[in-house]
């Protein structure tokens, strides 16, 4: 099957391949081709998984991820399978969780893919291993600001992102190896709140609470605590 290079755009991770496949099968011109069942199903499972995960529906998200894996494995395409695992790692980054990357690393040993490897290295904060030309376009400015020797603030690059999940992922990457930044955390909280991503909202409220406690800004920390009490189930 013909491959096209990543265009970056507003896609939050290399799972752009699914959208590329969709465009190839439906056709940019001429008679549209029927969309394979696996591709159509994978797209909807992907979107459902992302929403469930970010809203904190853990059990449902786990089942949806398992279903997504099952659909993609039907193709035998290890590059696309790698992007499925990277999707999970990107979501974990967005909510400041440790990445469960064993499955991805095992796949990478068997079938290394430069684009997947660059995105994985970006998520890990291993900027020296990232090929900027292979990274989704919206993250390239953030990457340059995070590389050794740069004292630039990635805030501007993140603030200009149009896609909400891209913002959360970029903030998660920055927070892996830079001190907590109030403005970045507030931006993440605002983005998650607008989308109704409760898991991310809770994560960043707790992080802000700890930040204010560390700064001895106890009134702010108390206000965050009260907010948490009111929105917890």
Given this model, what pLDDT does residue 34 score?
65
Q: Give the separation between CA 9 and CA 17, rounded to whole angstroms.
A: 12
CA dist., res. 106 & res. 103, Å (int): 5
Q: 205: which 2 tokens?
A: 């409220």
> For 115-149, what is each residue's pLDDT tens digit?
999 999 999 999 999 999 999 888 999 999 888 87
User: Contact, 35 vs 21, CB < 8 A?
Assistant: no
Average pLDDT over residues 54-74: 95
- Locate 167 and state its tokens: 């913002």
Asked if 61 contacts 52 with a C-beta cutoff of 8 angstroms, the reply is: yes
Q: 131, 125 in Cβ contact below 8 A?
A: no
Asked if residues 72 and 42 have their Cβ atoms less than 8 Å apart, the reply is yes
Q: What is the pLDDT of residues 23-61, one digit of tens each?
A: 443 344 455 566 678 888 888 899 999 999 999 999 999
Q: Tell me: pLDDT of 91 over 90.
A: yes
Smallest Cα–Cα separation from 159: which of 172, 147, 142?
142
> Which pLDDT belongs to residue 148?
83
Output the six-digit token pair for 97.
Answer: 């969780």
Residue 133, token pair as written in the block: 């030309």
- Number of Cβ within 10 Å of residue 136's Cβ equals 23
Domain coordinates of the chain in residue numbers?
13-24+39-120
| Higher-pLDDT residue of 98, 25 | 98
Per-residue model confidence as pLDDT tens digits over 7-20: 333 434 444 555 54
Tokens of 117: 């490897």
């Amino acid at each position: 099957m013909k491959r096209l290079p990543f265009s970056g755009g507003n896609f939050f991770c290399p799972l752009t391949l699914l959208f590329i496949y969709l465009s190839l099968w439906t056709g940019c011109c001429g008679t549209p081709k029927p969309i394979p069942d696996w591709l159509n199903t994978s797209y909807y499972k992907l979107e459902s998984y992302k929403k469930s995960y970010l809203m904190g529906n853990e059990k449902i998200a786990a089942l949806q991820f398992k279903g997504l894996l099952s659909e993609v494995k039907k193709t035998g395409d290890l590059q696309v399978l790698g992007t499925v695992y990277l999707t999970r790692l990107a979501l974990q980054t967005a909510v400041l969780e440790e990445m469960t990357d064993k499955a991805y690393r095992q796949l990478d040993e068997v079938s290394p893919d430069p684009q997947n490897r660059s995105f994985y290295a970006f998520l890990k904060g291993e900027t020296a291993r990232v090929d900027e030309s292979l990274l989704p376009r919206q993250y390239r400015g953030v990457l340059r600001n995070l590389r050794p020797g740069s004292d630039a603030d990635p805030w501007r690059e993140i603030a200009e992102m149009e896609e909400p999940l891209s913002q959360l992922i970029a903030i998660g990457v920055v927070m892996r190896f830079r001190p907590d930044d109030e403005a970045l955390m507030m931006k993440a909280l605002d983005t998650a709140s607008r989308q109704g991503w409760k898991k991310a909202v809770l994560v960043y409220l707790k992080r802000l609470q700890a930040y204010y406690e560390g700064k001895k800004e106890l009134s702010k920390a108390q206000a965050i605590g009260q907010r948490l009490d009111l929105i917890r189930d």
